[in-house]
Amino acid sequence: MACGILVGEGIGGPVSGVVANLTPYTRHPIPISPRCVPMTEVRTGMQIVTGHAGVRVIPVERAKVRGDFNFMTSGVSTEKPKGALVQEIARDLVRNRRGGGQTLVVGGPAIVHTGSGPALCQLIRGHYVHKLFAGNALATHDIEQSLFGTSLGVHLSDASIAEAGHEHHLRAINRIRRCGSIRNAVDQKVLKSGIMFECVRNNVDFLLAGSIRDDGPLPDVITDVLEAQRQMREKIRDVTFCLMIATMLHSVAVGNLLPAWVKVICIDINPSTVIKLSDRGSFQTLGIVTDVEPFLRALVQEVQLMEI
C-alpha cells in the first residue's frame, strides 16, 4: 500500500537535522525510528521524507536457491509437486499454532462454490485459523449453503440447480439483516452451520470488506473502503502466517498491507492471481496453482496426520 515515511514525530521534533524527542527529564535528543504512514492518514505539519536520495531500502531476503540452474524454481508454476508443498504448509500451520502465532485466511466465494467449506470449518474448529478477511460474497454464499444447501442456487450435494435458486442468496442476506448481524443470527439459532457460524463459535476475528457490486450487503460488511483498510491494518499487526485462497482482489489488497516478513501462501486455479500479487510488491508470496477443494482437503488430511 502506498505510504509516506514519517520522521520527527513527537515533542520537539527534529533538532539541527537530528530526529529527536525532547522529554521533560532531559535536553538531549532521543532518536526516533521513522515509520510508514498510509497516504490517507498524512496530515499538514507531518515531516514526510520526499524524493529518493539518501533513502536506503534493505528488503527481506528470500530463501536462496541452491545451484546455478534448476527447473521449476519460479514462485508460480502449475508443474510443482503439490503434495510436498501441501505438507510444508501443513507444517507451517501446526508450527504457527503451537508457537502462539496468528494465522490469517483471506478467502473468496469459490471456497463455498467448490464445496470446500467443510474443510475450512475443520481448520477453524482445530484453532488453526485465527482471523478471516473476506468480502460480502464468501459470507453470503456460506450462509446460503447453510440455510438452503445451495451456492448461487446450485445444490452442493449433487450440483443440480434448485428451483428459484437464484433467490437464495438474497433470502439469506435478508434473514441475517432481520437478525441484525451474523453473530446475532448464531445466537438466535438462525445460522447453525458453515464458515461464519464456526468463526462466531470459535472466536475467529472476521472482517468483511464490501465492493460496489455487492448484493445487500450483509450487515457486518464494511462498505467504507478506507475504514475497511484501517481496520485491516489494526487486525494484521499480530499476524505471523497468511493463507490467501481463491480471491484476487482481496489477496492483492491484504498483500499490500502485510509486512514483508510474514509468510504468505496464495492458492488459486488462475496463475495470474499469484503473478499479480507478486508484481504488486508481495514478493514473499509462495504460489500454488490448483483448485481450492483438493488443496483444502489435502491440507486438512496432512494437519490431522501431524497431530496424531
Query: What percent of the chain clears pLDDT 90, i.e. is strictly above it?
Result: 58
User: Residue 63 — pLDDT band, cuts 50, 70, 90?
Assistant: low
Is 268:246 a contact under the CB 8 Å cutoff? yes
User: Residue 132 — pLDDT band, cuts 50, 70, 90?
Assistant: very high
Q: pTM to 2 decimals?
A: 0.82
Query: What percent of the chain clears pLDDT 70, i.e. is strictly above it?
Result: 82
Is the model more confident about 274 or about 27? 274
Is 225:250 a contact under the CB 8 Å cutoff? no
Bridge partners of residue 288, in order along the sequence: 267
pLDDT at 74: 56
User: Residue 30 — pLDDT band, cuts 50, 70, 90?
Assistant: very low
pLDDT at 9: 61
Is the model more confident about 244 or about 212? 244
pLDDT at 12: 40
**Per-residue pLDDT tens digits for 107-125:** 999 999 999 999 999 999 9
Averaged pLDDT for residues 89-94: 95
Give the residue among 189, 141, 195 at the shortest CA–CA distance from 168.
141
Over the chain, what is the mean pLDDT?
85
User: Residue 18 — pLDDT band, cuts 50, 70, 90?
Assistant: very low
- 217, pLDDT greater than 70: yes
Grid coordinates standing for 66? Answer: 541452491
Domains of the chain: 1-57 (no CATH), 82-306 (3.40.50.10690)
**Per-residue pLDDT tens digits for 66-85:** 445 455 555 555 666 788 89
Is 156:165 a contact under the CB 8 Å cutoff? no
Grid coordinates standing for 143? Answer: 450462509
Is the model more confident about 77 or about 12? 77
**Per-residue pLDDT tens digits for 195-211:** 999 999 999 999 999 99
